[in-house]
Amino acid sequence: MKKFFKVFVLTFMFAVLVSPIHAAKTPYKIGVNLELTGPWAEITKTLRNAMVLEVERINKAGGINGRPLELIFEDNGFDVSRGAANMTKFTKDKEILLVVGPFEDNLQATTRAIAEREKITNIIICPSNPMVRDLKQQWAFNMAQSDIIVSQKLVDLSVARKYKKVLVFHGAWPLAQSLAENYKRFGEAKGIKVIISPETHKPIDIDMTPQLTKIKPIIQKEKVDAFYACTGGPPGPIITKNLRALGIKTPVLGTHAFGFGFIIALGGEAMEGVEFPSAKPVVFDQLDENDPVKPINIDFDKRWKERYGTPSDQIAGYGYDTIGLISDSLKRVKGKVTRSSLRDAFENTKEFKGTHGIYQFSPTEHDGLSKKDLVFVRIEGGKFKRIQFPGIE
């Protein structure tokens, strides 16, 4: 009997001592639905690496509320059906609190609808379809600035340069079309004549000479002050190279998607002088000394270089900011952490300082960044250079 009692006591004590520790180490699970293969693979690899880097740092320091973060990755292969299947899979795992991604605009409408139906927070990194944003979904939160904000910032740049006529050559997809339309709307309100080109381009076009040849007479006849390459990714440098090859020397404006090193590498000398509104991580070392995000970028860039051997960029910055926002929200949850309570905490984010700027969300605003979190950038000497204008930025 004494032997049985002794074994019982030891077993009970072991259970008491071990169970709380085990419970404390139960991770907060985060689903990540990204295009890890396909045309966006390199960019999403950067995003994944940044998220992993930050999760490891946080977990090494003790996690959040004594619990580690765990990232669960699923590759959607740049396929709408796979993206939807991944989102559905995540929603069925009740331990997963929220989902990050997909990255590409074309995949987001479906996954956001699933998130809304299943009531799970969906963090959107890449600028999303403007029509989808207008739905004002309760469970989706946007990291990047909207097309409206980017367009307003580019109009500010155009006004600063005293451009009176601008021709817009936009991509044939929703976001590029919206950027073009909003630039025209805000530009004309500031007295700029904005000409939308009848020619467009696709993301797979490897030579824009045919379209630009048709546009050239318009540029010459209208004597435009600037040419707006309203696009993103590889089409940007292709447009500028083809434009210069045709002898067109008109100043080129770009979108916020021009702020990547590979853009300069692909375009070479043709990229010289291109100007665009940009995320702060692109020129973080050139930010004002009193800018609160400058030291955050400096620290993150140092750790990124130590780990991956290359400079950080705006996509890596989004990875840092995403994990930071999730961590901040988890810390502010009162009571039990559930999908619903985490969503509420995320929605009430105030003054969170990230690499891109200061994020704020509210029940009526699910776009975290504002126009003041963008800067003006010029490509000069094969590098990104911040430019400023008195009274504007």
Q: Which residues contact 98 (CB under 8 A, 6 or more apart)?
A: 30, 31, 120, 121, 122, 123, 326, 339, 342, 343, 346
Chain length of the chain: 393
Mean pLDDT over residues 291-307, rounded?
98
Give 49's pLDDT tier (boundaries 50, 70, 90): very high
16 residue type, one letter: V
| Other beta carbons less than 10 A from residue 17's beta carbon | 9
Q: Contact 260/237 with Cβ under 8 angstroms?
A: no
What is the percent of the chain where pLDDT is above 70?
93
Gap between the Cα atoms of 367 and 331, Å rounded: 21
pLDDT at 129: 66
- Ramachandran assignment for 129, one of left (phi > 0), alpha (psi -120 to 50 degrees), beta (any other): beta
Give 45's pLDDT tier (boundaries 50, 70, 90): very high
Give 96's pLDDT tier (boundaries 50, 70, 90): very high
pLDDT at 336: 95
pLDDT digit string, tens, across residues 141-150: 999 998 999 9
Mean pLDDT over residues 46-54, rounded?
98
Task: Inform me whether the pLDDT recorded for 71 exceeds 70.
Answer: yes
pLDDT digit string, tens, across residues 232-269: 888 999 999 999 999 999 999 999 999 999 999 999 99
Instruction: Name which of 158, 169, 51, 196 is nearest 393 in CA terms.
Output: 158
Mean pLDDT over residues 325-334, rounded?
97
pLDDT digit string, tens, across residues 27-37: 999 999 999 99
Q: What backbone phi and psi angles, to 5 degrees, belong to 84?
A: -65, -40
Give 391's pLDDT tier (boundaries 50, 70, 90): confident
Which of the two residues, 277 and 39, has the higher pLDDT score? 277
Distances (CA, A) of 326 to 21, 199, 297, 304, 346: 23, 42, 18, 20, 7
- DSSP codes, 6-17: HHHHHHHHHHHH
Strand partners, 158: none
pLDDT at 297: 98
Torsion over CA: 119, 120, 121, 126 (sign): negative
Hey, what are 271's tokens?
Answer: 């990229």
Q: Which residues contact 2 (CB under 8 A, 6 or more apart)?
A: none
3-state secondary structure of 64: strand
Average pLDDT, the chain: 92
Task: Inform me whether the pLDDT recorded for 210 exceeds 70.
Answer: yes
Gap between the Cα atoms of 1 and 392, Å rounded: 85
Instruction: Name which of 137, 123, 205, 199 is nearest 168 in CA terms.
Output: 199
Q: Contact 154/276 with Cβ under 8 angstroms?
A: yes
Q: Which residues contact 42 (CB under 8 A, 6 or more apart)?
A: none
pLDDT at 7: 44
Give 61's pLDDT tier (boundaries 50, 70, 90): very high
Task: Inform me whether the pLDDT recorded for 130 exceeds 80.
Answer: no
pLDDT digit string, tens, across residues 344-369: 999 999 999 999 999 999 999 999 99
Which of the two residues, 18 and 341, has the higher pLDDT score? 341
Hey, what are 336's tokens?
Answer: 């039990």
Task: Inform me whether the pLDDT recorded for 134 exceeds 80.
Answer: no
Gap between the Cα atoms of 344 and 333, Å rounded: 8
Task: Inform me whether the pLDDT recorded for 4 exceeds 50.
Answer: no
For the chain, domains (ranges, CATH) are 23-145+293-370 (3.40.50.2300), 148-285+374-387 (3.40.50.2300)
Q: Contact 254/267 with Cβ under 8 angstroms?
A: no
pLDDT at 208: 96
Q: Contact 379/385 with Cβ under 8 angstroms?
A: yes
Task: Inform me whether the pLDDT recorded for 16 exceeds 50.
Answer: no
pLDDT at 8: 44
Task: Inform me whether the pLDDT recorded for 191 exceeds 50.
Answer: yes
